[in-house]
Amino acid sequence: MQRHNKDLLANCPVGKLLIKLSLPSIIGLVLQMTYSLTDTFFVALWIGDGAVAALAVSFPIQLVMVAFAQGFGIGGATLVGKYLGSKEGEKANEVLKNTFILTGTTSIALSTGAILGLTNLLYALGASHATQPLAQAYASITLLGTPFLSFSIAANSMARAEGNASIAMKTLIISSLANVVLDPLFIKFMDMGIAGAAWATIIAQAGSALWMAGYLRSKSVLKLRAPYLKVDKGTVKNILSIGSSAFVRQGAGSVTAAFMNRLLADLGGDPAVAAMGILGRITTFAYMPLFGLVQGMMPIVSHNLGAKEDCRVLRAINLSILWGTGLCIAGSIPLILWPESVLLFFSSGDTLSIAVAASPYIALSMPLSGFQVVLSGMYQAMDRGKAAFLLDLNRRVLVIVPLAWIMSLRYGIMGIFWSFPLTEVISGTISLGIFRSIRLKMIKACLRDRP
């Protein structure tokens, strides 16, 4: 099986390989996000829009935890893919160990710090006196599961780097199904309210972590080597350099979400914050096929880059940009044509009115962002951490934060939502300019490699 995965990365036709590696990730991510939407549905149905606003307020905290885990996981997976491609197995094992050391220590430290300062943190993120108790009840519990979540994310990245995307898919399925079963049991039938949603999340995360630990112990080509807690500074530096973009993408998303929540709370109160939270979850669901596609692309790029197969690298990138843009166009259609029908399941009253009015602006930004997400993944897989870092920082913070503030002064709440598509236009133009020169070099390398 291990040898078969390596042969696939090196020899399978790129289009077929991209589908083979992407489809399990897409299925797993869609199922995982289906849970998130189901969670929001149950919370809105049985607790109310105030609880949905509380979830939106606490969401940036979770994004920070995920940001570090994804950064370490993607940084480590890129190096693992490259070393497996160049047949340097011991270096790949060293990367595995250092990735898990970084993931474990950081997740424990961050969750502990967040729990200790949680009350003030939630108010800073946009909580009102009405939503703060609900947000506190939810976040104080889910933060306990951060080490499980972080380990699962990093381990999933390692499995994909080996070409074993089906394992990552099964991990996400386990988590999603557990949540869907436990949510109504805890929230409604055991009358635990929003705390029940939080405990369901932790139990599901623990199950995923145990599943991935079993895989790494018995079936993975990668092996942990003693001494288990000895850090290699050079390896850590490389992991951080490559993974910095993933961290910025999620971490900056947290900063931006917190900033948007504050603006919306000042202009429209809890209904506006809840509307942003609902739209955020729905659009994230629509983005899942794109994210799965990028996860399938990255091991192809890193492995074939290590094997000096430049034409396969170029083919994988071209197909990913084309397919990714198509997926984003398809995902935006429901919010453009049937916004009220989609949003009615998750909101009512003022929250529903704001969300319906804002949905066309959010939907418009999706087709403009697809190729930028692909390019970010490409830079990470190619060990161009600085380029990926700058691309994501520009798109996620440097453009949208000041633009949203300026637009809110002129157009109020809807001005904030208008800033999303405008940001994609500005950052997309910059991204295309950078990518053009890189693509020309890749084409020349491909032509040079041909007999």
Residue 161: pLDDT over 60 = yes
**CA nearest 93: which of 103, 105, 83?**
83
pLDDT score at 334: 95
Q: What is the pLDDT of residues 114-149, one digit of tens each?
A: 999 999 999 988 888 999 999 999 999 999 999 999
Residue 447: which pLDDT band, with cuts at 50, 70 and 90? confident
Residue 6: pLDDT over 60 = no
Region 350-354 average pLDDT: 93
The fraction of the chain above a pLDDT of 90, given in percent, is 45
Amino acid at 190: M
Q: How many CB atoms lie within 10 A of CB 308?
A: 12
Q: How many CB atoms lie within 10 A of CB 333?
A: 12
pLDDT score at 441: 86
Residue 401: which pLDDT band, with cuts at 50, 70 and 90? very high
Q: What is the pLDDT of residues 175-194, one digit of tens each?
A: 888 888 999 999 989 999 99
| Inter-residue contact 151 to 111 (CB < 8 Å) | no
Largest interatomic CA distance in the chain: 69
- pTM for the full model? 0.77
Q: How many residues are given for the chain?
A: 451
Residue 262: pLDDT over 60 = yes
Q: What is the pLDDT of residues 203-254, one digit of tens each?
A: 999 999 999 999 888 888 888 776 667 888 999 999 988 887 677 767 777 7
Q: How far apart are CA 66 and CA 110, in angstroms?
A: 11
**CA nearest 45: which of 351, 350, 348?**
348
Please report, in angstroms and rounded to a whole number, the separation of the first and last CA atoms in the chain: 31
Range name among 73-77, 148-152, 304-308 with the lowest pLDDT average: 304-308
Residue 4: pLDDT over 70 = no
> For residue 3, what are its two tokens?
């040898």
Residue 377: pLDDT over 70 = yes
> For residue 145, what are its two tokens?
């599961």
The residue with greater pLDDT, 451 or 44, is 44
Amino acid at 451: P
Q: What angle do CA 237, 162, 177 make, to 5 degrees?
A: 105
Range name among 110-124, 142-156, 296-310 with the lowest pLDDT average: 296-310
Q: What is the pLDDT of residues 21-41, one digit of tens each?
A: 898 888 877 877 777 787 788
Q: What angle do CA 424, 427, 433 make, to 5 degrees?
A: 130
**CA nearest 53: which of 108, 134, 146?**
134
pLDDT score at 348: 83
Q: How many CB atoms lie within 10 A of CB 348?
A: 13
Residue 76: pLDDT over 50 = yes
pLDDT score at 451: 57
Under 8 Å CB-to-CB from 252, ≥6 apart: which residues? 392, 393, 396, 397
Q: What is the pLDDT of residues 411-422, one digit of tens each?
A: 999 999 999 999
Task: For residue 169, count CB atoms less than 10 angstroms from its CB and return exposed for 0-12, middle for 13-18, buried for 19 or more.
Answer: buried
Q: How far apart are CA 177 and CA 398, in angstroms?
A: 38
| Inter-residue contact 21 to 165 (CB < 8 Å) | yes
Q: How far apart are CA 287 and CA 372, in angstroms?
A: 12
**Number of helices and strands (H, E) in the chain?**
16, 0
Residue 450: pLDDT over 80 = no
Q: How far apart are CA 232 and CA 70, in angstroms?
A: 20
HSE, CB side, 13 Å, CA atoms: give it for residue 79: 27
Region 80-100 average pLDDT: 87
**CA nearest 73: which of 153, 189, 172?**
153
Residue 1: pLDDT over 50 = no
pLDDT score at 227: 64
- What is the residue extent of each domain of the chain? 2-449
Region 281-302 average pLDDT: 90
DSSP conformation class of 189: I
pLDDT score at 267: 93
The fraction of the chain above a pLDDT of 70, given in percent, is 95
pLDDT score at 241: 83
Q: What is the mean pLDDT of the chain?
A: 88
